[in-house]
Structures are given as structure tokens and as C-alpha cells.
Structure 1
């Protein structure tokens, strides 16, 4: 294997030598053509700190971008063979794109990272150091999210609390996909066949020895996020439904309790009518009971529908993503 030198800018280069431990950065991208250059300029000096003990490769997963993202990446690849590219056939979503990256990553360790540089590059050497000390998962916790809006911070806090209250295996708060995963962990994740998934929940489910680093979340440097609140709500729902059956169990208990209360109320009405006769009919209370129990029934049916819908998705056994083309060392 020959030595490859990457000249990403006039003062930054990345060297990949033979028989080195490889670290793969998985970078899902969607309509991010303007962010590719700044991302590479920021990451290259960081990866250079790891040379010669560790060689870095950057694996971009183009999630069906409709702008010039693919061509921007390929323009850097012409002089930088350590950059690899996987093009998906359409937009499958970030979770599927991350799974595609895990499937194609060759590194002894991998780090999923966002191209917008909100994930702090400077803590990567610290993550690698903890990995070399024996940790197989190194979480990157955001200890300051002041760059996010109040609404984003509030909804994120609510999600972690709700998820950990319901899930069989809790996830660490304020830890996203940005973390280091050992090759053994990646191999386990690749065997999981869920089509609808929240990857950060699976990262916690697999276990293994875990350590942690902290960082301050930065403001987005380029472009706009495509993760609106509706998509985030969908991801949260997928994560909860896919990680636990407690919502179904809660409604089992709630339904049993309401059934007993209904039986007691029916007995009260029956005996009060026999003993005291019938008072003036209560239209308001009747409507209130009908609407209350009707709403609860519809809500319970909705939860059942969420689980049934995901069962349908799983039994179809369609792939999570479709690869259109690959470019790089093994294309």
C-alpha cells in the first residue's frame, strides 16, 4: 500500500500510511455543497494530529442531495484519495444515511460527525485517546447548548426525559450521533435489521465499555438545517416505539383501571335507581363521559396503529437505503 498525501488546503494535509490503525469519519450530507470545503479544512489538522499512529479517512454519505454536493466532494477527491463517497439513490433520511456509512466504513473505529461543524472537531483526539485506553464507545456530551434556540433546547430536554422514562434501555442526555464506535460495536450494529430506527438508542442498547468527553456545541457555520420540528418529532416517535412496549403496557393498566371504575359507576347507577328512583337526566355529565372515553379510546388506537405500522415496515423487509454509486479507494 503506497503512502497517500492529501492536500486539502494550502496549509493542511493528511497522510495515510501502510499498516496503520484507521479512523473513519462518517459524514452524512444532504444539500451541503457550501459546507464541504470548510469541513475538510477544519478536520484535516485534527486528523493530522493522529498521524503516524492512526490514519484517518473521511466517508461522505450523500443522502440524495439535489444541489452540487456530490460534485463538490468529488472535486476534493481528485487530489485526496483518503476521501470516500457513497451516493444514495434518493433521500432516505439521516438515520438511513448513517447506517449506510456504518456499512461502508473500513476503520478500526468510526466517528459519525455532522458537516456543519456543530460537532467540535478538537475533541476527536481526546475521544481516540479514551478508545486507546480501552473504551469501545466514547460519547460526546454537549455541556453547553446556548447556540441552539430556546425551543430546540426545551424540546430536546423533554425528549430525553420522556424517552428515558419509557425506554427499556435509557440513552445519555445531550449525546447525539457524534461519538466514537469501536469496530466490534460497528459489526454488531451492522447485524441489526430494524428498518425504522433511532441510531442513538441502538448505540446505548449494544452495551460495551463506555466513556465520555464533553464539548460546547457551536453555531452552524454553513447552510440551514433540514431537521425541522416535524422530522424531529417523527424521529422521537420512531425511537420510543422502536425501543419499548411500555406505551402498550400503560394502556393495558389504564384500560383495566377505567374498566373497573366504569363497572363501579354502573353498579352505583343501578342501585341508586332501584332505591331512590331517577333524578333529572344529566345531559352534561353524559356528554362529558362519552367524549372522555371516546378520546381515550382513539388515543389508545393511535398507539396501536403506530406499532402496527412499524410491524408492516419490518415485515416488508425493504432495505433501509439503496446505494447508487461509490467513489474512493474501493469503488
Structure 2
């Protein structure tokens, strides 16, 4: 019998959190009173995480696991889980327990009411630095304003998706994946459940500032053409500034011949300004061209080193 509910959890160096994660997930699975599967995706962990997943699979047949051949990143690990999932309702959450499993029954209630995407929306973050809270606040609102689809603010990958939505996501060929944007793009009835995000249960933060910036850039580039248009607007602005400067220089030459602003300093400032505009524009173009380059290579999204708990593995991606 195929499970009714599936849970996908990427794992990267989470040996300290796995026992508590399993305990709380087991309680939720028992509460749902339906066939379930727990898919744990080892994303190239360097600690004992993989060994612990093997032990959980031997102990509990509901636990399935995938082990990627190296670290491919959070979004790809989630994608791997989506490729193997079998349930009618699929929940994605993180292993650090900042996505509380106890919220899942509320998501299931919304799904049973007819919503095909139920996302968890944060109303408060506990024990996070002000800088992270501030940058997250700015990014989500900037993305909401610039994206060509309605992406809810203050939401991560913690969500429930209907089987129909997951099938569509699995059919999408793109490689630079931003799951929270893709689930909005597909449409279908969507709603939120609200929660206060608790602090990390144990271990070190795996999503570093560099990874967060990379994910933010990926989200902006994947769902908005505004950065490309911004290059045009900045170029036009620079051209207007150049024309104004030329008029001013001509005025100073005629009416203020001894003005120091008509010499080397003004020329140097203009060169630096135009050079900065050109470099920023090239950088924006590079982001889009880099994604085209990744797409046309056609490499697989990930490689698997070990799989357990699934039937007909050979027929899957």
C-alpha cells in the first residue's frame, strides 16, 4: 500500500538533531493515523548522519533514505526527495527542528479542506541575530515586489503540497531550483498556517550567510527580469548624468574659466561612475548567462550513492 502522507527532510551534518527529529516525527505520524513514509535525504554529510539513517531504516520500515554522492545543496536534496516520494500529500521540512513537526496536522487539515499548497509562514523568529532578521525581512519583501509571481513573505520550504503539485514540479527541467518560488508559480489553491520559528535544536547553523545570499540571488534571478531592466535604467540614468555634466562643463568653461571642477577631478569621477555602471550591468548579465550555461549542459541534478526503502528504484530519476 502506498503511503498517504510523505515527509521529506534534507540532512546535512545533523547527527545531534536526528534522534529528537525522529522522536517528534514518529509522534506526528502516529497522530495522523494513516500510512506514512519518512524520506531522509543525506546531502553529503561528513558526520555520523548516514549511519544513523541506516539504523533508523532498520528499526522502522516507514523510514526511507537517499544518500547523495556529495553535497549538492539544500534545494537539490529536496528535489531528490520529491523525485522518489509516493504519498498523496507531501510535507517538506528541515532537520534542525526550526520547522516544528507539530504544525503538520494543521497543514493536513488545510489540505483536507481543499488547499493544494499549504505553506508555513513565520510571524516571529526566536534567538536569531538582528542582522539575519533584518536581511530576511528586506529580501522577502523585495522578492515579492520584483517577482512575476506572488511569492508569500516570510516563508521557507516548510510546506505541504498535493500530489498533483509535486508531479508538476518533478516535470520541470530547470536546474537552478527555488522550491518556494516554483510552488507559487504552479498555481492551485494555496494558504498559510502561521507559527513562531523556534531556535535551532542542536549543532551549528548549516545555512551560512554565503549560502543565504546565493539562495536569495537565485530566487531573484529565477522569478524576475527586473535586474536586467535595472541595467537599462541605470544606463539611461548614467547617460542623463553625462549630458548634464557636459552642459555644466561647457557653462563653467565659458562663464567660470577658473573653476577647479572643470579639470582632472571631474573627468576621473565620471570615468569611475560609468565604469561602475558597466561592471554592475555585466555582473547582472553574467548571473542570467550563468544559468543558461547550467541549463544547456544537461547534467543530472544529483547522483545517488545509496538508496533504501523504495521499490522500483531503477525506474526513478
2:23 to 41, 46, 50: 41
1:153 aligned to which of 113, 133, 147? 133
Q: Secondary structure at the match of 1:61?
A: strand
**Where does residue 89 of structure 1 map in the other structure?**
69
- 2:235, 2:277 within 8 Å by CA — same for their partners in 1? no
Change (3 A) 1:271 1:96: same
> Which is worse superposed, 253-262 or 177-186?
253-262
Report if the CA contact (8 A) 1:81-1:329 is conserved: no
Using structure 1 for the length normalisation, give the TM-score: 0.88
Cα deviation, residue 41, structure 1: 0.6
CA contact (8 A) 1:57 1:82 kept: yes
1:221 corresponds to: 201
Q: Contact 1:30–1:65 (CA<8 Å) still a contact in 2? A: yes
The reply to whether residue 322 of structure 1 matches residue 303 of structure 2 is yes
Deviation at 1:228, TM superposition (A): 0.7
- Tell me how far 1:253 sits from its aligned partner: 2.4
1:287-310 deviations in Å (ceiling 9; x for gaps): 221111111111111111111111
> Structure 1 residues 91 and 284, CA, compared in 2 at 3 Å: closer, same or farther?
same
What SS does the aligned partner of 1:78 have?
A: helix
Q: How far, CA to CA, are the matches of 2:307 and 2:152 in structure 1?
A: 34
Q: Are the aligned partners of 1:241 and 1:307 in contact in 2 as well (CA < 8 Å)?
A: yes
How far 1:79 moved relative to its partner? 2.4
Q: Aligned equivalents of 1:39 and 1:265: distance in 2?
A: 63
What displacement does 1:276 show?
Answer: 5.5
Q: 1:265 to 1:284 in 2, by over 3 A?
A: closer
Bigger helix share: 2
The runs of at least 4 aligned residues of structure 1 exceeding 6 Å deviation read none
Query: Structure 2-normalised TM-score?
Result: 0.92
Provide the C-alpha distance between the structure 2 equivalents of 1:329 and 1:201, rounded to a whole number of angstroms: 28
Unmatched tracts of structure 1, length 5 or more: 1-17
Equivalences for 1:200-215 in 2 at 5 Å?
A: 200-215=180-195
State whether structure 2 residue 283 is matched by structure 1 residue 302: yes
Q: Does 1:290 align with 2:259?
A: no
Distance between the aligned counterparts of 2:97 and 2:170, measured in 1?
26
Q: Match for 1:199 among 176, 179, 182? A: 179
Listed as ranges, the gaps of 5+ residues in structure 2 are none
Structure 2 vs 1, CA of residues 230 and 306 (structure 1 numbering), >3 Å: closer, same or farther? same
In structure 2, what is the equivalent of residue 22 of structure 1?
4
Counterpart for residue 99 of structure 1: 79
Structure 1 counterpart SS, 2:280: helix
SS in structure 2 of the partner of residue 99 of structure 1: helix
Within 2, Cα distance between the matches of 1:66 and 1:325? 15
Give deviations 1:174-208, integer Å, cap 9, x for gaps. Answer: 11100100000001101111111221111111111
- Equivalent residues in 2 for 1:244-263 (5 A)? 244-263=224-243
Cα distance in 2, alignment partners of residues 41 and 21 from structure 1: 19
Partners of 1:271 and 1:63 in 2: CA distance? 64
Show the counterpart of 2:151: 171
Structure 1 residue 35 displacement after superposition? 1.7
Displacement of 1:263 in angstroms is 3.7
